[in-house]
């Protein structure tokens, strides 16, 4: 059986690094949402592991919902044109929305989500991302809170994938170039 971890040239953030940052992000959110019950939205599939760990670390009660947007397909770079694959089931009108993202890369997905949910009447919109990749930003947008900043490398693990693989790695690693440039 092939070890998918062998496809990483190095580990950027260990499971322990990630757990420590998730705890800090949860504390920040507890302070921000004190006295409210925000609608916590996971952007599937990439953020689901981070999302679950984050909401479990929060003391604030949340309502959870999920949506799927796609701008990568099975490639290694964003198309810049995210499309909704699965929409939310909960209404956002008048709600404090907490959007949990795996990575803010080009920024197009985040812009689309802010426009979409803002247009649906969200009372407030807070974005927490596991990763921020400012070197790839094409639009002027950023998360309200990011756990880590990364360079322009192809990263996988802890929910992030390449061709639907590597999501279950417990760490975040840099994928070997020969894997995605085949």
CA 138/CA 159 separation, integer angstroms: 23
Query: Tokens in use for 15?
Result: 């499971």
Which of 7, 105, 132, 161 is catalytic? The answer is 105
Whether 87 sits among the annotated catalytic residues: the reply is: no
54 touches 26 (CB < 8 A):
yes
Nearest to 137 by CA among 158, 155, 152, 116: 152
Q: In what order do the strands lie in the sheet with 8-13?
A: 8-13, 172-175, 155-156
Give the catalytic positions in this structure: 105
């Amino acid at each position: 059986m092939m070890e998918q971890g062998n496809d990483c040239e190095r580990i950027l953030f260990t499971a322990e690094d990630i757990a420590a940052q998730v705890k800090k992000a949860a504390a920040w959110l507890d302070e921000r949402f004190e006295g409210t019950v925000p609608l916590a939205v996971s952007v599937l599939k990439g953020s689901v592991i981070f999302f679950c760990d984050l909401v479990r670390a929060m003391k604030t009660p949340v309502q959870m919902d999920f949506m799927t947007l796609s701008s990568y397909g099975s490639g290694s770079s964003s198309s810049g044109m995210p499309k909704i694959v699965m929409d939310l089931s909960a209404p956002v009108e008048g709600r404090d929305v907490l959007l949990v993202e795996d990575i803010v890369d080009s920024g197009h997905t985040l812009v689309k989500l802010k426009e979409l949910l803002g247009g649906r009447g969200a009372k407030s919109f807070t974005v927490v991302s596991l990763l921020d990749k400012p070197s790839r930003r094409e639009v002027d947008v950023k998360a309200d809170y990011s756990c880590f900043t990364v360079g322009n490398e192809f990263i996988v693990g802890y929910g992030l994938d390449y061709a639907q693989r590597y999501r279950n790695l417990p760490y975040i690693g840099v994928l070997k170039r020969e894997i995605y440039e085949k």
